[in-house]
Amino acid sequence: MGGTAIIAQQFSEGRWSGCRKALTAVLLGGLLGIGLGTPPVLAAARPTLDAVRASKDLRCGVFPDDPGRSAIGPSGRWEGFYVDFCRAVAAAVLGNPDYVQFVEVGAKTRFTALMERKVDVVMFSTTWTIGREAKFKVEFPAVYLFDGQGFLVRKLSGIKSLDDLRGKSVCVTENTTTQKTLEDLDIARDLRLRIVYSNGDNFFRGACDAYTADRMNLATNRANRSDNPDLYTLLPETVSREPIGPMVRDDDPEWSRIVRAVVHALILAEELGVTAGTVDAARDAHRGAETDTLLGSGDPHFADHLRLDKDWAVRALRAVGNYGEIFDRNFGPTTPIGMDRGLNRPWSQGGVLYAPQFK
């Protein structure tokens, strides 16, 4: 009989002396074990998939008040590019795109929220770096946005290129990869910049001649935070590569594979011409082995390996559409952000966006 069982028995029998002795022995044994280098037995963290299913909610970390990327819209419902990916994961895993608890995170808390298990996934404009994975014990399962650092200037400033910035002031958010890239660029090109550690709001108030950040970040700032977006323009140069992706903890490879599969399913669907409106017809048409596997009518074991049911990708596509639909709805030319697809076109259309084979 184990020590805790002995304690319980003696306590129930009213044998207080024996109970105290047994308890002392258990505690002393634990302390000796620690002293001898034997680690205490800790309960293993529950697999994220099981925890999400048990709570019937996906806790998705997003940045607040960032229309186009993540914000509460006029109807009181969360909207945006990253929000759509939250809903796609919820649809795939829980069967309903509305089973999402949106947790507001910022530049620092996007990492700590994962480390402290306050969220299951973070959908944010976070650049995938090896250093961040090592430092914060996170993993980037996929890339859902290929971006790069650019510069926003006033149209009437006369600044047309990076060379025109020589001697000018540039605002940059401190303690970011953007800051380091700007400082390196300043030295490499002898621009003699006056670097102002400040955000885009101060740029729009006239604190500096230019503002540098990821190009999508600049476009959303121009659309959402300037008095008149038409007064500002992005310079043509891109000075860094910024692969942006969702983040999960690095201790649950199964969950990482699921998030990766959802992102890649939406990318592959665009390449295959499957949309939110055609997904059901495409599933019934049997248009090829990879399409059938994506839509649940192909390899019967594919979904089993993910611990999902065969219709997981169909539900995600019904909920938010394919990657192109998501991009155009939130970032495209007809939106206030007004960005071209650029690198975020499918590889078959001159971009770099593609998914691994669904086999």
Total count of residues recorded for the chain = 359
Query: Tokens for 17?
Result: 């002396």
Q: Using one digit for the tens of pLDDT, what is the confidence trace for 284-327?
A: 887 788 899 999 988 889 999 999 999 999 999 999 999 999 99
**For residue 134, what are the contacts with CB-CB under 8 A and spacing of at least 6?**
none
Place of tokens 């017809």: 281
In this prediction, residue 44 has a pLDDT band, given cuts at 50, 70 and 90, of: low
The mean predicted confidence, pLDDT, of the chain is: 88
| Mean pLDDT computed over 110-138 | 95
pLDDT of 300 reads: 83
Alpha-carbon distance 325 to 103, whole Å? Answer: 24
- The count of C-alpha atoms lying within 13 angstroms of the C-alpha of 167, restricted to the half-sphere facing its C-beta, is 1
Going by DSSP bridges, is the β-strand pair 58-62/121-122 parallel, antiparallel, or unpaired? parallel
Burial class (CB in 10 A: 0-12, 13-18, 19+), 200: buried
pLDDT of residue 151: 98
Stretch 204-228: mean pLDDT, rounded? 95
pLDDT at 177: 83
Give the percent of the chain with pLDDT over 70: 88
pLDDT at 231: 97
> CA 17, CA 73: separation in Å to the nearest integer?
65
| Contacts of residue 182, Cβ cutoff 8 Å, sequence gap at least 6 | 149, 170, 172, 193, 195, 212
pLDDT tens sequence across 320-347: 999 999 999 999 999 999 999 999 999 9
| 298 within 8 A of 289, measured Cβ to Cβ | yes
For residue 134, give both structure tokens.
């090592």
Q: Is the pLDDT of residue 21 over 90?
A: no
pLDDT: which is higher, 9 or 271: 271
Q: Which of 3-7, 17-21, 93-97, 289-293 has the highest average model confidence (pLDDT)?
A: 93-97
- Going 330 to 331 to 333 to 338, the CA torsion angle's sign is positive
